[in-house]
Structure formats: C-alpha cells, structure tokens
Amino acid sequence: MAVVLPSYNPPAGWSQRLMPWAEALAAAVPALDWSFVLVDDGSTASPAEEARRLRERVSNLRWIAYQPNRGKGYALRTGFGACAEADYFVFTDIDLPYTEASLLAVVAALTEGRADVAVGVRDATYYAQIPWRRRVLSQLLRRLLALLLRLPVDDTQCGLKGFNRAGWVVFQRTRINEFLFDVEFLRLAGRDPKLRVLAVPVQLRPDVELSSIGAGVMLRELVNLVRIWWRT
C-alpha cells in the first residue's frame, strides 16, 4: 500500500503529526506492506531537514524534491511513478485533513475488492468548516460537473482517493498539473467500462484548518475544466 503525500511549503509541525499517523495506519492493517512517499513540489523553504529526521523514524518513507513548483497533479504523478511496484495506492495532503478512519475506509474498499478507484466524498459538515472562497469554488465545480461531464462521482475535489494497479494506469495518463487533475482522472476512469469507481464517505479532522483559494487559482481551474471537457 503506497501512500503519496504532496506538499508545497508544508505547515509548521507537519512531521510531528505525520510520524504517529503513519505508525497508526501500519498498526491498524499490519497485513499490508505500507510505504509512504513525500513529494516536495518546489517549496520555497525546503523541508529537507524535517524529512531527514522523519526518515530516521519511519523506515518505509521516501522523500522526493524538485524545483520549481509544478502543481499537485504533477507532484502526485511523480510520487506514484516512484512506487509503481505497489498493488494499491492512496493520496492525501501533507496536513492530513481527513480522519484516519476515512483513509482506512478508502483502503478497505480497495483491498476487499469492492473498487478499482475509491473516491472520498464530503457531506454538509465539510462545507461548514472551510473558508468561503473554497466553499464557493467547490460547490460551483460540483454543479458544473453535473451539467457538463458524465462522472461516476461528482465530488471530485476531496483530497483523499485511492486505486489499484488498474486505476494507477489511468491516473498516470492525466495531464492537468493543478487542482483539477482529480476531474481529469475521474473523467478518464468513468469512461473505462472495466473500472469500478466507488464513492466512500469521509470526514475532516475536527481541528483541521484549510486555506482559502485565490481568485487567480479559481480562474485557472475554470479554464482547465473547459480543457478537460474539450479533450475528453
């Protein structure tokens, strides 16, 4: 089970949270061969020293860094490309916004053979916890996706997803580097009749703090949405 964690200028204390989190996952499902891949997506202040200390404690952890910043989609393709030998793959964010139970639910959907692609989906409590810009963009995207694209799951922007090797092949075909790589991935997965895509309910941690999204990012992602619709 390969877990890929992309990061760009990660928040203070990220390694202290990550260490017990990785240990708890491995203890919860000891039958799985867990590995963790951290991808530093061109951070302006490199977390290399924290990553080094973390690797001393977590032996099955790999750290990848490059410059310049390329976007979350690019970081994930890089991370998944580095662990292509795994049987199952999951990604989430470096600040670990979702509960451990949520990630384990995604893992179970894959390892129990219920899905080739397991997609975290958020409920109304999620939207009550996030900044208004992020809430508006997320809800607008869900409405646009329902109108424009035939997707197996309309909640594309949840930052917790997983897949088996068949899903990995499709994910590596994505080309969007920024946030809408999820939309592109689910568009491609939904058009493959052999892939089973399953929505898995997930919850945020109670103490998580999500950042707002700037107007420039919102505009670029709307352009990317049009590109996905046109290309696929």
Question: Which pLDDT score is estimated for 155?
Answer: 85
CA distance 131 to 113: 36
* Residue 189 burial class via C-beta count within 10 angstroms: exposed 0-12, middle 13-18, buried 19 and up: buried
Q: Mind listing the pLDDT tens digit of every residue in the chain (232 residues)?
A: 999 999 999 887 888 889 899 999 999 999 999 999 999 999 988 777 788 788 888 889 999 999 999 999 999 999 999 999 999 999 999 999 999 999 999 999 999 999 999 999 987 666 666 666 666 777 777 777 767 777 889 888 889 999 999 999 999 999 999 888 998 999 999 999 999 999 999 998 887 665 555 545 555 666 666 666 666 5
Question: Which pLDDT score is estimated for 197?
Answer: 97
Structural domain tally of the chain? 1
Question: Which pLDDT score is estimated for 218?
Answer: 54
Q: Which DSSP state fits 98?
A: B
Q: How far is CA 127 from CA 40, 92, 109, 122, in A?
A: 28, 18, 25, 8
**CATH code at position 60:** 3.90.550.10
Domain that holds residue 193: 2-231
Question: Which pLDDT score is estimated for 219?
Answer: 58
CB 200 within 8 A of CB 211: no
CA distance 28 to 58: 16
